[in-house]
Amino acid sequence: MMHASFGMLLGLALGMAAGALLPASLSLAAEPLGLLWFNGVRMTVIPIVMAQLILGLNTGLDARALGSLGLRAFAWFTGLLLMAAGFSAVAMPQVLRWFPAPSAPMDAKAPGPVPGFGDWVANLLPSNILAAASSGQLLALILFALLFGAALRHVEAGKRATLLQALAAVNDAMLVIVHWMLRLGPYGVGVLAMVLVARLGAAVTGIFGYYILTICAIVLIVSAALYVVVLLRGRVGFFQWVKAIVPVQALAFGSRSSLAALPAEVAAAESLGQGPAITGFVLPLAASVFRYTATVAQVAGAFFVAYLYSIPLTATQSVLMVVTSVLLTYSAPGIPSSALLVALPLYQQLGLPPEGLGLLVAADAIPDMFKTMANVTAHMTVAAVVAEPRDTLGQ
């Protein structure tokens, strides 16, 4: 996956170079090929999100997760996600004021009128699931999937198992398609980048450099906040915790995989005197569903795409983005840049061109190293605050 990610980064660079050197008419003529590739990714998002949520409610949570320890862990997951998303929503618009302005902002479909609070509440649950899916009403679809998954727990076991098996097959098939599309990613991203430069001018290459540096900086800031959380609320020695997590962070930075770092997390927790409640439950749960920096990628990326296309985002849309991004993180599959991929319908709902998001996926190779390091730090943070040392699952 690291090879594929850097392949897309290379495609981004070569596409931008081609857009600067080739005639604009030739670059723009290739746009349908780039959109064809990106539509191949987009078509998998809603099935993956809904299948992951329904399966998670029925197979990912056992009786232990419904107990006090699981509830505390999820409360911390959600609180930290909201903190990261809220900071990104406040910081990114301020930072964008210092970005170089695009020479010729791209045309994009203007967002529709922002609904009032009453209309927003009334439409939280969709009256027509298919219509909600076609129009990208992702928050409504998420709530439907949560209700459906909860209701499915009360269905007769045999029928439930049959449906879950079918959903698992759908989810697996969609992930196979995503992997196919990621293999073609360098070519698709190259075409989209070529079109972007042809319309915005060569200055956009520098703008993406600013974006990468900004994302890395925001991730480092929200990572520093985790140290404050452990210092104030941790149930382990702060300096011992800092020392114990360094090997975990190094492994995560190099591998760009939270799951690959899980054994190192377990070893670090054991060195801190934490028992099976942490090593056998909290840390595996966090590695499966808690992607701390996913909201940073989604929220900051949305503001950046809006900046590129000169689309204003209202305060109401910003709040919607923060809330929805937190919910989306629990359904993101375990693939590179998954947080950005599942955000596609959200961006559409905000009136942001989804092809701009495709370029963010390509530029994500370097920030993803910092994001993965922050994610495992967040896992160890929650482990430090939710349980006393030597807590056990059933003792």
What residue has token string 């985002």?
Answer: 313
Domain 2-386, CATH = 1.10.3860
Please state, in angstroms and rounded to a whole number, the distance separating the CA atoms of residues 353 and 302: 10
Residue 178's nearest CA partner among 354, 4, 355, 324 is: 4
Q: Read off the pTM.
A: 0.70
Cα–Cα distance, 382 to 388 (Å, whole number): 12
Give buried/exposed letters for 251-277 (b at 16+ CB in 10 A, else e).
Answer: bbbebbbbeebbebbbebbeebebbbb
**Residue 279 contacts residue 270 (beta carbons within 8 Å):** yes
Annotate 83-105 with b (16+ C-beta within 10 A) or e (fewer). Answer: bbbbbbbebbeebbeeeeebeee
What is the pLDDT, as a whole number, of residue 78?
93
What pLDDT is attached to residue 178? 75
H/E element, 384: helix 365-386
Using CB atoms within 10 Å of the CB of residue 389, give its burial: 0 to 12 exposed, 13 to 18 middle, 19+ buried: middle
Per-position pLDDT tens, the chain of length 395: 445 556 766 877 788 788 878 888 888 888 888 878 877 877 877 787 788 778 766 765 444 444 677 788 889 999 999 999 999 999 999 998 887 766 544 544 444 444 444 555 666 677 788 877 776 666 677 778 878 888 988 889 889 899 999 988 988 888 788 778 777 878 887 887 787 777 666 656 677 888 889 999 999 999 999 999 999 999 899 999 999 998 888 878 866 667 667 778 888 888 888 887 788 778 877 877 788 999 998 999 999 988 888 888 888 888 888 988 888 887 666 566 667 777 777 787 788 887 777 778 777 777 887 898 899 999 999 999 986 644 444 44
Residue 104 has phi, psi (to 5 degrees) of -150, 90
**Whole-number pLDDT of residue 281:** 74
Tokens of 371: 């994001």
Question: What residues have CB less than 8 Å from 270, skipping those under 6 apart?
Answer: 279
Query: What confidence score (pLDDT) does residue 89 get?
Result: 94
Task: For the beta carbon of residue 285, count every other beta carbon within 10 angstroms.
Answer: 21
Residue in this structure with the two tokens 């947080």, named with its chain if needed: 339
The reported pLDDT for the residue numbered 4 is: 55
Residues 160/58, Cβ–Cβ less than 8 Å:
yes
Q: What is the pLDDT of residue 66?
A: 45
Cα 85 vs. chain centroid, distance in angstroms?
11
* Domain assignments of the chain as residue spans, ordered by start: 2-386
pLDDT reported for residue 219: 96
